[in-house]
Amino acid sequence: MSARGLATCAAITALAVAGCGGDEPAPFKEVKQPTATTPTPTATVDTPMTDADPLASLSAKQQQALASLVTAQAGLAARGDALGSAGADADKLVNRIKAGFTAPSGSAPEVRRLATALTSFAAATGSIAEETDLLPALSTQLQLRFAALAKKQPTVAAHVLDAKREVDNAIQTLAGLRLKLDSYASDVKDQLSAVELDAHLGETIGAASESKSVVLGEVNQAVDMGVRALADAA
């Protein structure tokens, strides 16, 4: 081969080598896509809710002294609910009379239930205010705690005394409300012998409902304030 031909082959070879040099990009690699997974929900166990013991923070002796009061308070609330339901049913009869419908007999089932509910709530009101193991027991526990703290912790003792006065005032208020409730119950019972129900019964229902709300408010406030005072003075 001539010298000129050799030079041409050498040039072609050099170009081929340069085209396949070290700057060649790396071959593509397949990238696996992450597999979508659905998180497994964590199982939860529902824990039933229970009412906290309102006396839990008191001493064992105080808890024993006031256990009947807490039970009576719940019972009074239940009787209040029954009175509210009976009053609503009886009030429907009154509204029908006012709307022009014929008045039913005074001994209608709704009126009898109202008389029973009123009598029951009035009796419970009297009991919680008068029986020695109910609100009077709370007053007694507060008096004992006040006497124990009067000299050593006068500020705390004063708080306890305020609570005792609240309880004592509630007891007096409940005594007056008991008389009113008895009067309302008597008015309703008078209707039981009437040939026709008197539309004025609606006024008695309204007054009884108002007294019921006051009774429950007085009891709840007295118990709450008294028990908290004993807990704070522990």
pLDDT in the model for residue 52: 76
pLDDT tens column, 46-105: 333 345 789 999 999 999 999 999 999 999 999 999 999 999 999 999 999 999 999 999
Per-residue pLDDT, averaged over 218-226, amounts to 98
pLDDT in the model for residue 53: 87
The answer to whether residue 134 is domain-embedded is: yes
Q: Sorting pLDDT into bands at 50, 70 and 90, what band is 208?
A: very high
Q: Other CB atoms closer than 10 Å to residue 82's CB: what's the count?
A: 17
**Which domain, by its residues, includes 113?**
60-232
87 CB-near residues (< 8 Å, 6+ apart): 114, 117, 205, 208, 209
- Give the lowest-confidence range in 3-17, 44-58, 151-165, 197-211: 3-17
The answer to whether residue 171 is domain-embedded is: yes
- Give the lowest-confidence range in 27-36, 81-90, 169-178: 27-36
* pLDDT at residue 6 is higher than 60: no
The answer to whether residue 29 is domain-embedded is: no
Q: How many domains does the chain have?
A: 1
* pLDDT at residue 141 is higher than 90: yes
The answer to whether residue 20 is domain-embedded is: no
The answer to whether residue 133 is domain-embedded is: yes
Q: What is the DSSP string of 2-18?
A: -HHHHHHHHHHHHHHHH
Residue 32 to residue 62: CA distance in whole angstroms = 71
The answer to whether residue 129 is domain-embedded is: yes
Identity at 191, one-letter amino acid code: Q
Q: Sorting pLDDT into bands at 50, 70 and 90, what band is 19?
A: very low
pLDDT in the model for residue 187: 96
Could you give the C-alpha distances from 71 to 63, 74, 172, in angstroms and in order? 12, 5, 21
